[in-house]
Amino acid sequence: MHNVINSIIDDSYEKILLDEMSLDLDELIREASLQLERSDKKRVVIVKVGEMFDVIVVNDITKKLHERFPDKEFILLVDDYRELDLDFKFIKSMAGWCIVLHHAKQLDGESMENFKNIDNHQRKKLFISRNNKGKDHRREWVKFLEDNNLKEKGYVSEGWNNIFLEHLNDDFIETVEMFEQIGYNYWNQRYPSRDDFSLINFYNDSFCEVVLSSEYDIKASPYGAFDSEKEWRPFLCCVIPQIVIFKNYDDYLRAEGFDLFDDVLDTSFYKTDDLDKKFEIIKSNLEIIENDLIVDSRFRDDIWLRLKSNQDRLFDGWKNYFYKKIDEFKNV
Can you give the residue ranges of every domain in the chain? 2-93, 97-317
How far is Cα 202 from Cα 42, in angstroms, rounded to an integer? 47
Is this model's pTM higher than 0.85 or not? yes
Q: What is the pLDDT of residue 176?
A: 45
Checking if the pLDDT of 72 tops 90, the result is yes
Lowest mean pLDDT among 45-49, 183-187, 246-250, 253-257: 183-187
Lowest mean pLDDT among 31-45, 124-138, 184-198, 214-228: 184-198
The string of pLDDT tens digits covering residues 234-290 is 999 999 999 999 999 999 999 999 999 999 999 999 999 999 999 999 999 999 999
Checking if the pLDDT of 216 tops 90, the result is no
Q: What is the pLDDT of residue 165?
A: 83
pLDDT, average across residues 310-316: 97
pLDDT category of residue 215 using cuts at 50, 70 and 90? confident
Checking if the pLDDT of 100 tops 80, the result is yes
pLDDT category of residue 164 using cuts at 50, 70 and 90? confident
